Amino acid sequence: MDKIRTLIVDDEPLAREMIVDMLVGDAEVEVIGECGDGLAAVAAIEAHRPDLVFLDVQMPELDGFGVLEAIEQTPVIVFVTAYDQYALRAFEVHALDYLLKPFDRERFDKALQRAKHQIERERAGTAPQELVALLADLKSRPKPLDRLVIKAGGRVFFLRADEIDWIESAANYVRIHAGREAHLLRETITGLSAKLDPDKFLRIHRSIIVNLDRVKELQPWFHGDYVVILQDGTQLTSSRNYREQLRKLLGKST
Half-sphere exposure of 229 (CA within 13 A, CB side): 7
Cβ count within 10 A of residue 230: 18
Question: For residue 96, what pLDDT is reported?
Answer: 59
Give the Cα separation of 208 and 238 in Å (integer).
Answer: 8
Q: pTM value? A: 0.55
Structural domains for the chain? 4-139 (3.40.50.2300), 147-250 (2.40.50.1020)
Question: For residue 13, what pLDDT is reported?
Answer: 93
Give residue-wise pLDDT tens across range 160-177: 999 999 999 988 889 999
pLDDT tier at 254, thresholds 50, 70, 90: very low
Angle subtended at Cα 33 by Cα 50 and Cα 96, rounded to the nearest 5 degrees:
45
Q: Which amino acid belongs to residue 55?
A: L
* Length of the chain in terms of residues written: 254
Give the Cα separation of 157 and 148 in Å (integer).
Answer: 8
The single-letter DSSP state of residue 28 is T
For residue 20, pLDDT beyond 90:
yes
Give the Cα separation of 157 and 146 in Å (integer).
Answer: 14
154: left (phi over 0), alpha (psi -120 to 50) or beta: left
Give the Cα separation of 34 and 36 in Å (integer).
Answer: 7
Give residue-wise pLDDT tens across range 162-216: 999 999 998 888 999 999 999 998 888 888 888 888 888 999 998 999 999 999 9
Give residue-wise pLDDT tens across range 26-63: 999 999 999 999 999 999 999 999 999 999 888 877 88
For residue 138, pLDDT beyond 70:
no
Look at residue 88 and give its three-state secondary structure: coil
